[in-house]
């Protein structure tokens, strides 16, 4: 009995697909984030009015110290 697999893994290494409609800076930022280890991050981007000016980007890892809900509500 010859059993054929229902799916097969690609035999060639994956190549990056071309990205359309995004600037090179956005793609570079996305790749930087993609290369980070799993976690929670905050990304701050400062974009100047001059189109050719470099973007200033800061990526910070987020560590939550405490979560709280505070309310002044008191039922009558």
- Per-residue pLDDT reduced to its tens digit, 23-44: 999 999 999 999 999 999 999 9
**Reported confidence tier of residue 2, pLDDT bands at 50, 70, 90:** low
The tokens for 67 are 């979560």
More confident residue, 31 or 18: 31
Q: What is the pTM of this model?
A: 0.59
Residues 51-75: tens digit of each pLDDT: 999 999 999 998 888 999 998 887 7
Phi and psi at 29, nearest 5°, equal -65, -45
> What are the domain boundaries of the chain?
38-66
- Number of neighbours of residue 30 by Cβ within 10 angstroms: 12
d(CA 31, CA 66): 30
């Amino acid at each position: 009995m010859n059993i054929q697999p229902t799916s097969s893994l690609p035999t060639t290494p994956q190549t990056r697909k071309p990205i359309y409609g995004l600037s090179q800076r956005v793609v570079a930022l996305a790749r930087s984030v993609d290369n980070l280890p799993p976690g929670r991050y905050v990304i701050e981007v400062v974009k100047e009015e001059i189109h050719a000016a470099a973007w200033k980007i800061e990526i910070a890892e987020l560590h939550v110290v405490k979560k709280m809900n505070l309310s002044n509500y008191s039922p009558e």
